[in-house]
Amino acid sequence: MTSGWSEILLPALCLRRWTGAIHLACLLAWSISACAQEQTKAQASTIRVDVSRVNVGVIVTDSRGKFVEGLQPSDFQILDNGAPQPVSDFASVDSPAQVMLLMEAGPAVYLLQDSHLFVADSLLNGLSASDRMALAVYNDAPTALLDYTVDKRAFGAALDRIQFNLGYGSLNLAKSLNTVLDWLSQVPGKKSIVLLSSGVDTSPLTAAQELLGRLQTGDVRILAISTSGPLRNGKKGTKNQIQQAQQAFAEADVWLKTLAEATGGRAYFPENAKALQESYRQIAELVRHEYSLAFVPPVADGAMHAIEVNIRTAQPSDKNSILDYRVDHRRGYRAPQATP
């Protein structure tokens, strides 16, 4: 199914390389410049804060990607601009998930639709009966196909009815995500977007900048799965075309990682069906579990502050040492402004 990928996908990739990669380069330069000016502005996530506390959702997993349970407040260290802060509130949250599967309806997914790489059964099977799923696709703009439901059969049926686009139309990822965030702003509670995408984006730079700002201050976690893994080894086309395609894939990977990390989420780059199933398995667990930490902002200066969360202790007998733990969280917040 993928042997002729270059005849279909490569021209689209070459046309869609952020208008010659200028948009992505400008976006990264914008972020890097901000980072150079102030450490706390480095592609870090921003948490909304009231005058009393900063809330931080934290995911801790071991070397196998399994959520680490049983941690206590004393196991966590919170740093605000490098200074330790006491944990004022703590909870281990295991609540029903609200997951929107947002899928790119373009050439990359079209090529995989009949293969096992595309099957989302691993995600559905990993969710509990109380978890709610919604479905949408995007190319030029997003289209909602199914509202949140606990009916996994209805979700599977909606998935089977998706029509994919083989043409070279726009893939406006940033613009589409901005629209989806508008939809989700009306949905209360914990929300995750599982983004199945090549990462190729033809949105204007302004849309990408707007999206990053919203993700950094919002309450939606993005877990991105790249669809480009099985397509990267194509050898058809000229040497220059192959190089352009590989560069486009690399730029798309950076964008997916940037989107996920802005929300305290993760990006996955599976290269085969087994790896994809493992990605879905991990996601099904992560959307339900997190630790909710809070601390009192040390100063009310109205400035950006960097947050770092570390695991402080581990039992020596634990096969997974503390260095094996992975900690994902939003990485910054804007402190409240002192009133005159």
What is the dihedral sign for C-alpha 123, 261, 69, 271?
Answer: positive
Same domain, 172 and 104: yes
Paired strand residues for 225? 196, 268
> Contact 57/242 with Cβ under 8 angstroms?
no
CA distances from 72 to 90, 91, 199, 243, 293 (A): 8, 9, 37, 49, 10
For residue 279, give the H/E element and its range.
helix 273-286
User: What CATH number does the domain containing 160 carry?
Assistant: 3.40.50.410
Same domain, 175 and 307: no
50: containing domain = 40-94+288-334
> Contact 2/241 with Cβ under 8 angstroms?
no
Contacts of residue 37, Cβ cutoff 8 Å, sequence gap at least 6: none
Give the per-residue pLDDT at 40.
Answer: 38
- Assess if residue 339 is contained within a domain: no
> Contact 199/252 with Cβ under 8 angstroms?
yes
> Contact 207/234 with Cβ under 8 angstroms?
no
Same domain, 271 and 147: yes
Cβ neighbours, 10 Å, residue 210:
17
pLDDT tens string, the chain, 340 residues long: the values are: 444 444 434 444 444 444 444 455 445 444 434 433 433 333 334 444 444 788 888 889 888 878 898 999 999 999 999 999 999 999 887 778 899 999 988 766 666 655 544 556 778 888 888 999 999 999 899 999 999 999 988 998 888 887 776 555 688 999 999 999 999 998 987 889 999 998 989 999 999 999 988 887 677 899 999 988 766 665 666 777 777 777 888 889 999 999 998 888 999 998 877 888 888 888 888 888 889 899 999 998 888 888 899 998 655 445 444 457 889 887 778 788 877 6
- The three-state secondary structure class of 63 is coil
Same domain, 22 and 78: no
End-to-end CA distance of the chain: 66
Single-letter amino acid code for the residue at 325 = Y
Place of tokens 């190319």: 139
* The dihedral formed by the CA atoms of 253, 254, 259 and 261, expressed in degrees to the nearest 10: 110
Same domain, 45 and 177: no
CA angle 106, 43, 263 (to 5 degrees): 60
> Contact 235/242 with Cβ under 8 angstroms?
yes
- Assess if residue 13 is contained within a domain: yes
Give the per-residue pLDDT at 165.
Answer: 62
Same domain, 259 and 219: yes
Same domain, 184 and 276: yes
- Assess if residue 263 is contained within a domain: yes
Residues in the chain: 340
Count structural domains, the chain: 2
Distance of CA 209 to the CA centre of its chain: 16
- Assess if residue 138 is contained within a domain: yes
User: Cα-flanking dihedrals φ and ψ of residue 300, to 5°?
Assistant: -110, 75
CA angle 248, 37, 45 (to 5 degrees): 60
Give this prediction's pTM.
0.76
Q: In whole angstroms, give the CA distance from residue 61 to residue 42.
A: 24
Write down which residue in 251, 267, 286 finishes a domain: 286
Same domain, 24 and 107: yes
Give the per-residue pLDDT at 12.
Answer: 46
Give the per-residue pLDDT at 268.
Answer: 93
- Assess if residue 239 is contained within a domain: yes
- Assess if residue 340 is contained within a domain: no
User: What CATH number does the domain containing 318 carry?
Assistant: 2.60.40
Same domain, 125 and 101: yes
Same domain, 136 and 194: yes
Same domain, 120 and 266: yes
- Assess if residue 48 is contained within a domain: yes
- Assess if residue 116 is contained within a domain: yes
Same domain, 238 and 117: yes
